[in-house]
Amino acid sequence: MKIINDKDNQYFSNNWNYCIGTGRLGLALQKEYWDHLKLVQEKISFQFIRGHGLLHDDIGIYRELNLPDGSTKPFYNFTYINRIFDSYLQLGLRPFIEFGFMPQALASGDQTIFAWEGNVTPPNDYDKWYNLIHAVVSHFIDRYGLEEVKKWPFEVWNEPNLVNFWKDANKEEYFKLYKITASAVKDVCPDLKVGGPAICGGSDEWITDFLTFCKNENVPVDFVSRHAYTSAKPHKVTPEYYYQELFDCDHMLDELKEVRELIHSSPFPHLPFHITEYNTSYSPINPVHDTPLNAAYLARVLSEAGDYVDSFSYWTFSDVFEEADVPKAQFHGGFGLVALNGIPKPTYHLFSFFNKLGEIILHRDTECIVTKRGDDSITIVVWNVVMKKGHDFNKDMSIDLPFPYKEAFIKRQTIDENHANPWKVWKQMGRPRFPKQNEIETLIEVAKPQIRTERKLVIDGRLPLTITLTKNEVSFIEISRVKDETETYIELDDSLIPSYSKEWSS
């Protein structure tokens, strides 16, 4: 029994909704991408969005024109990036800029990553790179205004500590890139915010080295960024799927704490710390992303990670994503909160539940968070992570709450293996790769949480709840006051209706 009191409360940060990840920015031109992002913003309202490919050739910012005299001249084309950023701002999102990857005309080599072939080699001419960064940032200010752009973080490159994201994972080369990029940004305006090193986990000495480098070389740095995933190396890879083990739930939280301490003991102890990517698996074709487990597993992360980091950005909002080629099936293990054809996955609902929590934490532990909202209503997220196979993993939970009214209306929204699990229904349908319109409609219909309501008497200012959680259930519970108006209906008597009785409950 969790006995909860309304004192010594703390504020709940919204670091969990600070930023969301996206497939490469060029995909933001697509209609389905935009439809999904709208769906996400309506229920979740992220503040920033971050993705790769700002400088990739499909957006085409950097080109070299061939002049009549045989020489070439850089040409900066903002046709597409304007369209993309205009649409983000229209949906209430600001860009969390990531500079990368290398435009072909500036690349020093041929190495690429992903099906869409992002070039991961250093620039062939750092002066041209400096000019490009300077031109891009200047353009943003010209179009969106300095006050707006001062709010945008500028992050340099992505996971340079991996050989497939940065040629040879060359640390010195990265520091050089960072230094020149940062100076280009700050030369436009010293108030703009620049940061790095955007590494994935496993090489945290890069952070120490990076901050030391900045200190020693007097290079500006406004924030530290890093990624975090909680899955092991794949133990099986098929032509369409990766299968991986998940680490324990504590794994990610411990990692974040450790890096935060690392920063605390660095030359820049108070720098903001952004997790610019996280998820369970780092693979866009791991089916765990489609499951209720993914939501149940991440519940605790959303509840607690904001204590250690200034933001953590779920990777990614939509299965409109092409790193492992065009998606080959309706469900294919993509990162998205939203699957193809606009079907919300369980993790979408997890985020929407957190979006309705109150500002004040009444209670928090490893299986629930209880908050209060401004209107005195109480909101709770509870979860039951089960990584074992089979059924019969129900968990009972009792929560005893303070509630200063006579009666409570309780609304419970539930996702679990049998509710809001379109992946399961799709399997029942026979895993149709390209479902038809009526199948899509069914999948959208079943992708809604189960809703249960009840009305309860409050006794001596206390409201006891007893909840049974099924396997991988996440429930969102709202408790609000009942203002009963029944007395105002003169001589009302439901028992005079055929088949009904007097009680509201029947």
484 binds its own copies per the rule CB under 8 A: yes
Query: What is the closest distance, in whole angstroms, from the C-beta atom of residue 430 to its own copies in the complex?
Result: 4
Measured CA to CA, the distance from residue 263 to residue 7 in angstroms comes to 33
482 binds its own copies per the rule CB under 8 A: yes
394 binds its own copies per the rule CB under 8 A: no
432 binds its own copies per the rule CB under 8 A: yes
Footprint (CB under 8 A) of its own copies, residues 486-505: 486, 488-501, 504-505
Give catalytic status of residue 255 as yes or no. no
Are the CB atoms for 164 and 58 separated by under 8 Å? no
Measured CA to CA, the distance from residue 381 to residue 454 in angstroms comes to 17
Copy the structure tokens of residue 327.
Answer: 């998606």
Residues 103-135 as b or e (16 or more Cβ within 10 Å = b) = bebbbeeebbbbebebbbbbbeebebbbebbbb
Phi and psi at 309, nearest 5°, equal -130, 155
Choose, by CB under 8 A, the member of 13, 45, 173, 243 that binds its own copies.
243
Part in contact with its own copies (CB under 8 A); list of ranges 100-108, 164-172, 271-279, 325-333: 325-333
Measured CA to CA, the distance from residue 66 to residue 397 in angstroms comes to 70
Question: Which among 64, 117, 147, 159 is annotated as catalytic?
Answer: 159
Nearer to its own copies, 181 or 244 (CB): 244
Dihedral-angle region of residue 145 (phi above 0 means left; psi in -120 to 50 means alpha; beta otherwise): left
Query: What is the closest distance, in whole angstroms, from the C-beta atom of residue 499 to its own copies in the complex?
Result: 5
Element of type H or E holding 3: strand 2-3
83 binds its own copies per the rule CB under 8 A: yes
Four-CA torsion 193, 150, 39, 451, nearest 10 degrees: 80
Amino acid in the structure at residue 131 = N
Choose, by CB under 8 A, the member of 235, 265, 270, 460 that binds its own copies.
235
Query: What is the closest distance, in whole angstroms, from the C-beta atom of residue 268 to its own copies in the complex?
Result: 37
Footprint (CB under 8 A) of its own copies, residues 374-393: 386-391
1 binds its own copies per the rule CB under 8 A: no
Query: What is the closest distance, in whole angstroms, from the C-beta atom of residue 24 to its own copies in the complex?
Result: 13
Part in contact with its own copies (CB under 8 A); list of ranges 42-50, 194-202, 394-402, 427-435: 427-435
Query: What is the closest distance, in whole angstroms, from the C-beta atom of residue 223 to its own copies in the complex?
Result: 29
Measured CA to CA, the distance from residue 231 to residue 252 in angstroms comes to 10
Measured CA to CA, the distance from residue 393 to residue 415 in angstroms comes to 15
| Three-state secondary-structure class, residue 74 | strand
List the beta bridge partners of residue 273: 224
451 binds its own copies per the rule CB under 8 A: yes
| Three-state secondary-structure class, residue 89 | helix
239 binds its own copies per the rule CB under 8 A: yes
Measured CA to CA, the distance from residue 5 to residue 251 in angstroms comes to 30
Choose, by CB under 8 A, the member of 329, 360, 364, 464 that binds its own copies.
329
Three-state SS sequence of 244-255? EEECCCHHHHHH
Place of tokens 């606009």: 342
407 binds its own copies per the rule CB under 8 A: yes
Choose, by CB under 8 A, the member of 7, 79, 265, 396 that binds its own copies.
79
265 binds its own copies per the rule CB under 8 A: no
483 binds its own copies per the rule CB under 8 A: yes
Nearer to its own copies, 1 or 490 (CB): 490
Footprint (CB under 8 A) of its own copies, residues 26-65: 29-34, 59-60, 63, 65
Question: With contacts defined by CB under 8 A, how many residues of the chain interact with its own copies?
Answer: 97
Footprint (CB under 8 A) of its own copies, residues 281-310: 286-288, 291, 293
Footprint (CB under 8 A) of its own copies, residues 135-194: 143
* Catalytic machinery residues: 159
